[in-house]
Structure 1
């Protein structure tokens, strides 16, 4: 069995691509946070304590809209609920007698990418391997935010506007590959786009705040897809 130090070094090595990817994406978040009125350290603390790109980007819109804290809390709960499922899955790879403080620290670093790397690692998951991943991924996400927030105060408005396009490029890079081979997922994405557009056009709906729009659409679309197109057990178990 590998020692704790070896596990930690393996985590550092496997976490390098994650950290570099986070650096690029969080740079855009830092720019947008600056544009939303957050100062540099508010943006950095937000990234360091959350580690959730979708939740953080959605939070900026809610902050700009001046929505109440309750709306922010519900929106974050819905958007980040997937991390509960990921944590449950990872818990099956941990030793039964692992102390609570290890489980607690590992849970802080559960993100889509860290989960993907961790769940594919053969054998039981060592907490020190997870710490290695986090020691690269978390600084990458936080440092990128810092650089983006600083750039938001220094770069010209036209250049910042151009850099904001990177956010949409990231979303396309996440959505398009899995949608290519899955007609159901493609339909769900298209329905999401149409309903989001209708929410901006229908008079009775366009007054709903951005936070509650996210909550309503997420529950309606994801719930309908789960009921109409449930995954078979063997599909759900695939990585």
Structure 2
């Protein structure tokens, strides 16, 4: 019984040591990026083929990317666009095997124009819940436009925006005719791959080697006491 227990203990130690080395040495798998190939592709709130205001965030700009998180079903991917998690249809993107130089548009801001106080709504509809109000001249980050309620001016476009107020972050919609866009989304985007990392210098390679041998030493430090314990248990006893 002692022999079986000791062999089991030794096997467990070796397995744990191997797992330790494997987990530390294994490279992280990069996430995939999907090139937006269709104009007016929709970023959905839920994986449902409904283009209703309560299921649509906004239009995704063509030639930019989404970060693909997982495949939901045979129609939708779960993705990240900037800091928004949503869903896109398979047909809207082309998954690439590289990390692009430019993934999302940046520095997109708009300001409230005219002598008005603009209401930020939860949905692109003047009857939806009020999220916040922005005074004339106030600025906010925007993502892109979507279609919503057509007000008196005749436009049906609303901007999905982000309001940062200290530690509080709010999201909502602003009617397009109430704003002036300061930075337009540049199309086409640079879809080229990010340059490969430079070759490690000899000192970095030495550090990697040192790390590997450090792990080997730790593994031996775990296994050797077990082997020594087995030796002590099964060591032949001297004759009296």
Q: Greater RCO between the two (CA within 8 Å, min separation 6)?
A: 1
TM range (shorter): under 0.3
Flag the structure with higher helix content: 1
Per the normalisation by structure 2, the TM-score is 0.23
Per the normalisation by structure 1, the TM-score is 0.23
Flag the structure with higher strand content: 2
Question: Larger C-alpha radius of gyration, 1 or 2?
Answer: 2
